[in-house]
A and B are shown apart, each in its own frame.
Chain A
Amino acid sequence: MRNKEKLVEILLTLIGLSSVTVLGLIILFIFKEGLPAFAQVGLWQFVTGTRWSPGKNLLGILPMIAGSFVVTAGALVVGLPLGLGCAIYLSEFATAKTAAILKPTIELLAGIPSVVFGFIGLTLMVPFIRNFFGGPGFSVLASALVLGIMILPTMVSVSYDALRAVPPVYREGMLALGSTDWQAVKMVVLPAARPGILAAAILAMGRAIGETMAVIMVAGNSTIIPTSFLDPVRTLTSNIALEMGYATGLHRQALFATGVVLFVIISILNLTARVVVRGKTR
């Protein structure tokens, strides 16, 4: 009896560890494949170089680093207020019936493949931006809009759960003191749910920075540092996905090195975000 229990425990532990092992192996592999490029190009040259032309051995990924940051920031500017507003409405103002319809609908949004978002962006947003704002249409703006919508489900679901987790007595206490609904939300519910909302923002950011397919279709993928919202842009993930099929030798290593840089950036962002969340909860 006891032995069997022990056996199952060990098995489950191994299974639990397997995901960590897989992560470890992936990291090991990316670094093994990417580090030679750093050695050859030079870490500083690789990260701060502004020209990317693998055929001529010019391997600088600063435009793509800038691209990833700008596009992700833009997506958050679009997605965070929309998502949070939606979550507040669902949790605090919507009737049970409306919420029962809206919530699954928003979650359904998460099930739409990214290539579909990209295609809609390509056929609707890109021409719209070209006609109304000028430029080629393939732009930071198009990517930010598409990504902003793509991160909505994450943003809404996670912050909705955070808002729901605030005990009803908090609201009731405020209302009993004579506040309006909005005052109760603004002064009590939102501050109480802040860690959860921040967590939602972090998850949404992770989704935005990692998205590839939809961005490739609407961003234009030029290797320049964007100076306007109407400029085309290439992100780190797009750079890898666009060229991996063709790359050999140093070019291939440079793409893995791009992956290493992306990995480091995401780790730093996640860590900072975690520290911020922890700081805010105290």
Chain B
Amino acid sequence: MIYSSKPVPTKPEQRPQAGRYFLRAFPVLIFIMIALSAMLSGCRPRAQTARGSITVAGSTSVQPFAEMLAEEYAGRFPERPPINIQGGGSSAGGRAVLTGAAQIGMLSRQPAEAEKELTVITIAHDALAVVVHPQNPVHGLSSDQIRAIFAGRFSNWSTVGGTSERIHVISREEGSGTRTAFDELIMAGSNVAARAIVQDSNGAVREAVAQDKNAIGYISLGLVDNRVKAIEVDNVKPTLANCRAGTYTLIRPFLFVTKEKLSASGQAFINFVLSDDGQNLLAEEGLVTDNQ
């Protein structure tokens, strides 16, 4: 009776019991070892991951275009090493190239001081569109008005010819390439108001503006769709033609940065991006390229 009610019956000796504890601890031990080895190997920056793939990291503004190019590249040259696109932001991209974590960095702004030593390749230009809700009667603003709105000096749409509603300013987080470009191109030293709502991607800004008929935000021209309205800036429509003609001036560069010595397979990808085919693909997606 006593034996049968024991919680761990099966075998009378103690041996398997101790073994059982050990078995339970074993996966944990293995996990710790894996974690430790991962940490140790993480200390040594590696440019090449498995299968010799190329890592391209950086600006989330450039990311969707780079992904499209990488997909196209993989389709045309299946024998070449795959291109691995990662986000993280312009600064993270620059840092990744400097530390060797990525071979190619994507920037959506001019290189910062620390990034000056890198080789810079302009792959295209992107226009920033100032967007409002499609039902907003305002169809154009001067850059001074836009600055006043984002700085919080104008807070009602009636000031700029709209309905008498509060303006909901939607901006990007500090440090993002789009925000940095907007600060340079429009704000000219003024601060974006602390009250401004901050969304963490072009898509989130577009979503917020599409939802709110009193909102104003800024996104890549290539990402404007029919849910938002891109307004005229200083009486110039934000179109690719106007960007190429130089009349629409809210333009920022999309850059690839690399270290001086780039692997042949990395160079092959960049060559593809700069080829007529690559440039046409970027132009189709709404970027401003030099070849047209």
Bound-state CA distance A245–B61 (Å) is: 14
- Is A251 in the interface zone, CB < 8 Å from B? yes
Q: Does A79 contact B (CB under 8 A)?
A: no
Q: A1-20: which residues lie under 8 A (CB-CB) from chain B?
A: 1, 4-5, 8, 11-12, 15, 18
Q: How large is the interface on A (under 10, 10 to 19, 20 to 34, 35 or more residues)?
A: 35 or more
In the complex with contacts A15-B25, A126-B211, A136-B212, A55-B174 CB distance below 8 A: yes
Which residues 206-222 of B sit at the A interface, judged by CB distance below 8 A? 207-208, 211-212, 214-215
- The contact string, 1 if C-beta is below 8 Å from chain B, for chain A 49-88, is 0011111100000010000000000000000000000000
Number of B interface residues at 8 Å Cβ cutoff, please give it.
Answer: 38
Task: List A contacts of B89 (CB < 8 A).
Answer: 245-246
Q: Check A53/B25 contact, CB under 8 A, given A221-B197, A245-B89.
A: no
Taking the closest CB of chain A, its distance from the CB of B94, in whole angstroms, is 9
Binds A, one of B2-10, B14-22, B237-245, B251-259: B14-22
- A234's contact among B22, B87, B198, B211, by CB below 8 Å, is which? B198
| B195 with A130: CB separation less than 8 A | no
**A201 is an interface residue with CB less than 8 A from chain B:** no
* Inter-chain contacts of A136 with B (CB < 8 A): 168, 197, 212, 214-215
Say whether B188 faces chain A, with CB atoms less than 8 Å apart. Answer: no
What per-residue 1/0 map shows which CB atoms of B247-289 lie under 8 Å from chain A?
Answer: 0000000000000000000000000000000000000000000
Using CB atoms, name the residue of chain A closest to B189: A56
Residue of B nearest to A249 (CB): B114
A-B contacts, 23 of them at CB < 8 A, read A8-B21, A12-B21, A15-B28, A15-B29, A15-B32, A52-B194, A53-B194, A54-B175, A55-B175, A63-B194, A122-B207, A130-B211, A130-B212, A217-B204, A220-B197, A221-B197, A221-B200, A222-B198, A245-B87, A245-B92, A246-B173, A246-B176, A251-B175
Q: Could you tell me which A residues sit within 8 Å of B by CB distance? A: 1, 4-5, 8, 11-12, 15, 18, 51-56, 63, 122, 126-127, 130, 136-138, 216-217, 220-224, 232, 234, 242-243, 245-248, 251
